[in-house]
Amino acid sequence: MTEVAKSQPVKIWRGFNAVDLVTLAALAALFRATDYVAGVVAFIFPFNTTLMTIAFGITAICAAVIIRKPGVFTLFTLAAQLINVFVQGEMPIAGVIMLAWGVLADLYLYMRLKNGADPFKSLRDMIICSVLLGIVWVLTVYGILFPVIYLVQLTPLIYAALMIVGLIGVVVGGILGYYLGSRIKSLLG
């Protein structure tokens, strides 16, 4: 590495361009469309929400691998919640709570980039992001929204099962999203 390259700091925060925002919006819309699929299998409630966790993992990680910028998870959830509130009629307070989904994963991305790594090309890093997304998902949806906002009273055993299945769903979706996003990114160049 040349002396000039060593002295140049790595630019961690890069702005999102129009293509990035359209990509985020399209993937967020695909994620929100799975709400209708989950509604079709509502007879297995509350486990129909597992489809949502898988779809969230696929689309969020796919967005990160394609766009490759920190902040992608937070912007992805912002787009998804705007669709959820304004198009699907979600309670605004629920949408605000769900905005927390991407924050931990973005903090992890930021730390990895600051340390000189490229987490967007690493399956391991994307799995860690999936786990962080999943932890926040299950805590907000099953720990806050269901019992407090939606007043859905389930047994503690059902909530525990939902949290475990939800976390597994986001991670499985994240692995699929990594491979899908890598394939799309390679096609785009």
Q: Under 8 Å CB-to-CB from 171, ≥6 apart: which residues?
A: 57, 127, 130, 131, 134
Alpha-helix residue ranges (DSSP H) falling in 41-155:
49-67, 72-86, 92-98, 103-114, 123-140
Tell me if 103 is assigned to some domain.
yes
Tell me if 66 is assigned to some domain.
yes
Tell me if 7 is assigned to some domain.
no
| pLDDT at residue number 1 | 46
Tell me if 148 is assigned to some domain.
yes
Contact 163/111 with Cβ under 8 angstroms?
no
Contacts of the segment 41-46: beta carbons below 8 A, 24+ positions apart: 46/146, 46/152, 46/154, 46/158, 46/162
Tell me if 160 is assigned to some domain.
yes
| pLDDT at residue number 44 | 80
- Reported pTM: 0.86
Split into its structural domains, the chain has a count of 1
Tell me if 2 is assigned to some domain.
no
CATH number of the domain bearing residue 88 = 1.10.1760
Residue 109, domain extent: 17-188
Contact 68/181 with Cβ under 8 angstroms?
no
Tell me if 6 is assigned to some domain.
no
Tell me if 161 is assigned to some domain.
yes
| pLDDT at residue number 5 | 44
Mean pLDDT per 10-residue segment, the chain (189 residues): 47 78 95 87 81 93 95 93 87 85 93 93 95 90 86 88 91 96 91
User: Cα separations (Å) of 175 from 7, 66, 129?
Assistant: 36, 14, 10
Count of beta carbons in the 10 Å neighbourhood of residue 34:
17
